[in-house]
Chains A and B, each alone.
Chain A
Amino acid sequence: MTMDRRSVLGLGGMLAAGVLLAPGLRLVAAPEEATEASDKRRWAMLIDTNQCDPSCTSCMKACRVENNVPLFGDPKRDIHWIRKVELRPKDGKGPDRSLPMLCNHCENPPCVHVCPTQASFIRKDGLVLIDMHRCIGCRYCMIACPYKARSLVYNEPPESASHNRKVPRRAMGVVEKCTFCVHRLDEGGQPACVEACSNEGKGGMLFGDVNDPNSAISQKLHQVLSTTIRPDLGLKPRVHYQGI
């Protein structure tokens, strides 16, 4: 079944043109009865910091709503799957930057390396995920991650009137982080932050399969100069940044 979808993608030119014309367009209209993650895919993100407005937080808001991420009102313990970081040059020269930071879904994720129960794991399509049923809350992954991508759920989350039923609520005492909206990807969709960025922001986030040479993100990664955060650590992150 996934092979079908893969070969559809492989038709290349025509569809790639379509993707370029309408980023965020759903390739598969209705979810199929059974789907499976494909080891042929590698999801990645390219963030154009030139398009990122310091005052815009639509990606953060969309993530909170989509993934039922609660706010406790305590900055030290609030959970952030995605956050906006402001960068100010230390020497005062050059412009300030603003950019979103989220889990980088590394090819060599240190969080997965240190997890004693394999609760943090790499899915076949390269996503770094947490099996919440298996996390013992030891927090070693939070020590190991250089991107501060992870949060522990310190308190019982406040009751909230509205929930996205497709994503579970929080369990106290486990560690969590961005999933690239895996539930949306499995239905052929895009992460909520990317969608919000193109709808409400300036469309600075591009998401797709870098194993597909014709995907918009593959093409753009070849055209523009981009970097990752802390490439010296050798983690090979899959969130790329343009303009820093």
Chain B
Amino acid sequence: MDYFPTLATRVSLALLLVLFLGAIGVYPSTAGADPPQLEKPKGERCIRDTNWMRHNHMDLLKHNRSLTVREGKRIRSESLLQCAGCHPNRDRFCDRCHGYVAVAPDCFECHIYPE
């Protein structure tokens, strides 16, 4: 019996090590940078509490999306098109924060944000 691991075993161990090092974060990160300043909204009040929106807007969008597409339920004030009423600039609102937290939603690959 060979005590020394085979070439294949050694290569896979090395690969695992590299992956592990990558996972614990040898990459440069933006942590510590100041949170981005988002554009002040125009309207008086958001359709939900601001703090709630900060954490849950994606659930709201996704939930309404399914309801609208599949059930034909359209709530006009909660439509994606209505966001622009208070947040007219996508770059200075959605994208700025999404860039900061490095989450890339693909809504706007198809949907057109009103300006």
Direct chain A–B contact by Cβ atoms under 8 Å:
yes
* A residues whose Cβ falls under 8 Å from a Cβ of B: 31-37, 121, 123-125, 127, 129, 131-133, 163, 165-166, 168-171, 182, 186
10 contacts between A and B (CB under 8 A): A31-B76, A36-B72, A36-B74, A37-B71, A123-B70, A123-B71, A124-B71, A165-B81, A168-B110, A169-B111
Identify the 10 closest CB pairs spanning chains A and B, nearest first: A37-B72, A168-B110, A36-B73, A165-B112, A34-B75, A168-B111, A169-B110, A171-B110, A131-B69, A35-B74
New A-B pairs, 12, CB < 8 Å, besides A129-B70, A165-B81:
A34-B75, A35-B72, A37-B72, A123-B70, A123-B71, A127-B72, A131-B66, A132-B110, A163-B112, A168-B110, A168-B111, A169-B109
B73 touches A34 (CB 8 A): yes
Contacts A133-B65, A165-B81, A165-B114 known; A182 to B72 CB distance under 8 Å?
Answer: yes
A169 to B75, CA, bound (A): 21
Interface residues on B, range: 10 to 19
- Contacting B77 at CB < 8 Å: which of A33, A37, A169? A33
B55-88 interface with A by 8 A CB criterion = 65-66, 69-77, 81
Residue of B nearest to A168 (CB): B110
A171 touches B81 (CB 8 A): no
B114 touches A35 (CB 8 A): no
Count of A-B contacts judged by CB separation below 8 Å = 55
Contacts A33-B77, A133-B65 known; A125 to B72 CB distance under 8 Å?
Answer: yes
* B residues whose Cβ falls under 8 Å from a Cβ of A: 65-66, 69-77, 81, 109-112, 114
B110 touches A37 (CB 8 A): no
Q: Hey, which chain A residues are within 8 Å of B69, CB to CB?
A: 129, 131-133
Residue of A nearest to B76 (CB): A33
Residue of B nearest to A163 (CB): B112
- Contacting B70 at CB < 8 Å: which of A125, A131, A171? A131
- Contacting B109 at CB < 8 Å: which of A129, A171, A186? A171
B71 touches A36 (CB 8 A): yes
Q: Hey, which chain A residues are within 8 Å of B66, CB to CB?
A: 131
- Contacting B81 at CB < 8 Å: which of A129, A131, A166, A186? A166
Contacts A33-B77, A133-B65, A165-B81 known; A170 to B110 CB distance under 8 Å?
Answer: yes
Residue of A nearest to B65 (CB): A133
A186 touches B70 (CB 8 A): no
Q: Kindly provide the distance from the CB of A197 to the nearest chain B CB, expressed in whole angstroms.
A: 25
- Contacting A169 at CB < 8 Å: which of B70, B71, B81, B112? B112
